[in-house]
Chain A
Amino acid sequence: MEKTLDKLKPGEKGTVKRVTAEGMIRRRLFDMGVTPGAALMMRKAAPFGDPLEITLRGYELSLRRIEAAGVLLEV
């Protein structure tokens, strides 16, 4: 099933299928290791609901929902 990263619930895992974000955000996502094939897991949302915390490539990454919406996952 396909899902964007911002729709992932805490504890759920997925594999990056495509990065649809554009420009600088796209590049930053790549540089931080969010590339097709990368496995990741949703940890939690911040107390006010945004940003999100995910685990990938052995570290914790925080990103906003709007940025996460540009990452398509296979779950």
Chain B
Amino acid sequence: MRIALAGNPNCGKTTLFNMLTGSTAHVGNWPGVTVEKKEGVYKLYPDGVKKGEPIRLEILDLPGIYSLSPYTPEEVISRAYILDERPDAVINLVDATSLERGLYLTTQLLETDIPLVVALNMADALAKNGDKLDADMLEKRLGVPVVSISALKGDGLKELMATTYSAVSFAQNGKRTPNSVLFGHADAELFQKASKIYESEGVGNAVFRALKAVEGDAGEKKALPEIFGKVRALIDEYEGGKSVSDKEAQGLRVKPMPTVPPIKQMRIRADKFDNISADKIAAYNLDAEIWNEVAADVTDELAADIAGETFITDYEALIADARYKHITGEFSPALKRKRDVWELSPSEKVDRILTHKIWSIPIFLLIMFAVFHLTFSENLLFLGVFIPEGSFDNAVFGTDAINAPGVILANALGLLTDWLSGLIGGAMPDGTWYTGLVVDGILGGLFAVLSFIPQIMCLFAFLSILEDSGYMARAAFIMDRLFRKFGLSGRAFLPLLMCFGCSVPAIMASRTLQSDKERRMTIMLSPFLSCGAKMPIWVTFGAIMFAGRYPDLVVYSIYLLGIAVAVLAAIILKRTALKGEAPPFLMELPAYRMPHPRNLVRHVWDKLKHYIIKAATVIIAALIVIWFISSFSFTFRLVEDQSDSIIGIIGRGLAWLFWPLGFGQGADGWKFIVAVLTGLIAKEMVVATMGVFAGMADDPLSLETGELSAAPIAVLIGTLSVPAAFAFMAFNLLSVPCMAAVAAANGELSNKKQTFGAIGFWLGTAYVVAAAVYWIGMYWWISLILLGIAAILITLSKLRSKGIIKLSFGKSKQR
């Protein structure tokens, strides 16, 4: 038996799903789109006693939606699943604290013929406020079972599932008799006739589809064009003969004022009756005589009744309006609020500070800083100030300071993996090729992947707390104005900020973005914001360049370069590849809630599982390949000198390609090229590779900055001119961040084409910017030429957008 969970975002659906399915749940993506698909099993024991064979109910968590309109991927998926896959029942979870909006979806689900049970969540929270919700009254008026539950506490879940099970058994041939709140409407005749058309054609969910057809729904038109046409003809007949296009030509979208019955005239506000002009009457397609007659019919009493009514120009509006009218009229009385509707709720009181005109920004920055501080800092709460130098040195907890939880976990894991590789390496014979493969290739790769986990876990835990508490929606609210300039919404802020930590969780967090375009843009910008793994490159170069006099300036300039490129790239992408209307920013600001530990663990584990499975397979495979091509020659012999290895030879062969970037030009140029290539696998490998080439026995990263400038790696880096060194850093900054990020991007983008597009974009940007950095550094006047070209391009595009000149780039059609 398959049961689908449907409901608004933030109504507690995930919590309910987790409570019902426990450990049986698994998360995947819906085919073709990156909307989460969660499935699990609930075991229903007859009589509520855990013995004998339970009934297995397969639960599918549909994405959170407000409506079944075909506008967002979430809505399209949910609608297709309910209509085409026909689950045995739908449980509609409604947040009792925002009842009206929740029941709007319910009114649409009522029109399907799938057995439906409404679960009222958080009724206990209502009771706490002193509000009363009459579930029995709601059940009677809705005509489907209504069960009060608390998803968080697990109250009422058995009753809910037993009710659902019996609703399925009660349905004949698996069908419930559909009902619609619209059948009580003034235009019910039309709605019922339309439903009859679908029924007579033997279409399932006839009422739902017929009403969608009346709305002029694009999805319905595409699915069954012939029946859709019949409904359109019916509307024409109902309205009196004229075809839809005729009316549209007259500026009346579909719905003119019919001459009879008078009840329909009420859509014109009563106060307009007196002073309506003759040409307006003509536009409404009414005879002036009839009009006056109708106007006279509308008594004062009626006028008062319809004071809230307005003239509605199309059925989409009419139906949405009718649903809400019915909800406020029939269903809302079930809820007796103690509080005045306009009184500040506790959540709004908190928001007076958290989204305050002035305070919201520093608070926001502080929260973001705290997230990073608790994940990456090696000096927690800056307590190091109070600890005298040399007082303690612990590999896990810190040196003369206390590490943040993220760092402590990472260090502990690092110790464990070091110990394991030492143990396994020691047990294997020295110097054989397979020892190299196992210790350097496979274990090295596996542990490199594992080493990311503690900090990813921390970032996700904080992310999850912010999301669950409701603060994330406020962060988007605060930042939206700034980000819209770059074609992004406020929601993109967090993923982009996380890029400074690690691209992998950042790319995975882009899932929270609503539009596909925004998600792509965020992912494509992610490498430009320098991640933690690139830091060793900047530190090493900073310690060596300019004789180590300006290390901080070198690092700072690279971060600035990355941000500048990200801003430029966003502006260019917005105008070219990712052009289009900005998605609407209609977003609920959910009430603040205490995040629940159980949800937190689930959420983090779901994300980690994704990362471990997806990233690990790709990274390990890539690392084995890298180990192979850097240890063997083309004749498959183990090499002593890496320059004879496959990658060394490839590096030399590619010297011409990297010539414009400067760092590939000298006799040692190929070493930098190989370092850049290994950096595509993981940025941690860049400095390590250069260390190997410089003939260092130790990893350069284990040295203090003072020792670095005297180490052989300084000699190697010293062969680069300053512009070439900056070009090298620029290329590492902007190119493919690492294989784990590629794997993550592949998981979040909708298809392979987009993934390859992103990789191409990263490599292309890195190449162009690195070349520009090098040549401007060599010959400063080149910047003048580039500025000139940029000025011409901007002028041309401005002129073009104003229509003063026409430009065509091959795509224009010949007429």
Binding site for B on A (CB under 8 A): 13, 15, 17-19, 24-33, 35-39, 41, 43-51, 53, 55, 57-64, 67
Mask for B440-481, Cβ within 8 A of A = 1, else 0? 000000000000000000000000000000000100011011
Q: How far is the CB of B186 from chain A (nearest CB, A)?
A: 14
Q: List the 9 shortest-distance A-B pairs measured between CB atoms, nearest first.
A: A48-B481, A30-B320, A31-B67, A60-B589, A59-B98, A37-B308, A57-B100, A35-B321, A31-B66
Known interface pairs A13-B342, A26-B317; 18 further A-B residue pairs with C-beta atoms within 8 A, sorted by A's residue number: A17-B310, A18-B310, A18-B311, A25-B584, A32-B586, A33-B104, A35-B324, A36-B309, A44-B357, A46-B360, A48-B480, A51-B477, A51-B585, A58-B98, A59-B590, A62-B587, A64-B585, A67-B584
Q: Fill in one digit per residue for B692-726: 1 if any A CB lies within 8 Å of its CB, else 0.
A: 00000000000000000000000000000000000
Judge whether A35 and B586 touch: CB under 8 Å. no
- Kindly list chain B residues whose C-beta atoms are within 8 Å of the C-beta of A15: 308
Closest Cβ of chain A to B267, distance in Å, is 9
Pairwise interchain contact A37-B100, C-beta atoms closer than 8 A: no
Complex Cα distance, B310 from A44, in Å, reads 27
Shortest Cβ distance from residue A1 to the other chain B in the assembled complex, whole angstroms: 13
Q: Which residues of A contact B100 (CB under 8 A)?
A: 33, 57-58
Contact A43/B348 with A30-B320, A31-B320 known, Cβ cut-off 8 Å: yes
Is the CB–CB distance between B324 and A46 below 8 Å? Answer: no
**How far, in angstroms, from A61 to B342 measured CA to CA in the complex?**
14
Are B104's CB and A31's CB within 8 A? yes
Min CB distance A48 to B, Å, is 4
Residues of chain B with a CB closer than 8 A to A45's CB = 357
**B368 contacts chain A at the CB level, 8 A cutoff:** no
The binding surface of chain A is classed by DSSP as mixed
Q: Is the CB of B478 within 8 A of A36?
A: no
| CB–CB A60/B586 < 8 A | no
Q: Tell me which residues across on chain A come within 8 A of B34, comparing CB atoms.
A: none
* Whole-angstrom distance between the Cβ of B220 and the nearest chain A Cβ: 14
Q: How far is the CB of A61 from the nearest CB of chain B, in Å?
A: 6
Tell whether, in the assembled complex, residue A41 and residue B481 are in contact, meaning their CB atoms are under 8 Å apart: no
B287 to chain A, nearest CB (A): 25
Taking a contact as CB atoms under 8 Å apart, the answer to whether B585 and A44 are in contact is no
Q: Are A55 and B309 in contact (CB under 8 A)?
A: no
Q: Could you pull out 27 A-B pairs where Cβ atoms are within 8 angstroms?
A: A19-B317, A26-B316, A26-B317, A27-B69, A31-B66, A32-B101, A33-B100, A35-B317, A36-B308, A37-B308, A37-B309, A37-B321, A38-B324, A39-B341, A41-B342, A48-B480, A48-B481, A50-B480, A51-B477, A55-B342, A59-B589, A60-B348, A60-B588, A60-B590, A61-B587, A62-B585, A62-B588
- With A27-B69, A31-B69, A32-B66 known to touch, is A61 a contact of B586 (CB < 8 Å)? yes
Choose among A25, A31, A57, A63 the residue that contacts B98 (Cβ–Cβ < 8 A).
Answer: A57
A39 to B325, CA, bound (A): 12
Give every chain A residue within 8 A of B316 (Cβ-Cβ): 26-27, 30
Q: In the assembled complex, how far is the CB of residue B103 from the closest CB belonging to chain A, in whole angstroms? A: 10
A18 to B269, CA, bound (A): 11
Assess whether A62 is in contact with B477, with CB atoms less than 8 Å apart. Answer: yes
**Listed residue (B67, B310, B348) with the most chain A CB atoms within 10 angstroms of its CB:** B310
With a cutoff of 8 Å between Cβ atoms, the chain A residues found around residue B356 in the complex are: 47
Contacts of B317 in A (CB 8 A): 19, 26, 30, 35-36
Query: How many Å lie between the Cα of A30 and that of B327 in the bound state?
Result: 14
B101 contacts which of A17, A29, A33 (Cβ < 8 Å)?
Answer: A33
Contact with A along B91-111 (1 / 0, CB 8 A): 000000111110010000000
Distance from B490 Cβ to chain A, minimum over Cβ atoms (Å): 8
Q: How far, in whole Å, are A64 and B483 apart by their CA atoms in the complex?
A: 13
Considering the complex, give the chain A residue whose CB is closest to the CB of B253.
A22
- Residues on B with C-beta less than 8 A from A64 are 480, 484, 584-585
Set A19, A35, A59: member contacting B588, Cβ < 8 A: A59
How many Å lie between the Cα of A58 and that of B96 in the bound state?
Answer: 10
Check B482 for interface membership: any CB of A closer than 8 A.
yes
Q: Which residues of B contact A41 (CB under 8 A)?
A: 342
Given A31-B104, A47-B357, A55-B342: A36 in contact with B585 (beta carbons within 8 A): no
B481, A46: Cβ atoms under 8 Å?
yes
Q: CA of A19 to CA of B316 in the docked complex: distance in angstroms?
A: 11
* Contacting pair A46 B477 (CB below 8 A): yes
Chain B neighbourhood of A43, CB < 8 A: 348, 351
Q: Which of B321, B341, B351, B584 contacts A24 (CB 8 A)?
A: B584
**Quick one: closest B residue to A31, CB to CB?**
B67
List residues of chain A with CB within 8 A of the CB of B341.
39, 55, 58
Interface residues of B in 28-86 (CB under 8 A from A): 66-67, 69, 71
A29 to B69, CA, bound (A): 12
CA of A17 to CA of B360 in the docked complex: distance in angstroms?
A: 33
B377 at the interface (CB under 8 A from A): no
Interface flag for B358 (CB, 8 Å): yes
Instruction: Give CA–CA (A27, B319) in the complex, Å.
Output: 11
Interface string of B311-349 (1 = CB under 8 A from A): 110001100110011001000000001000110000110
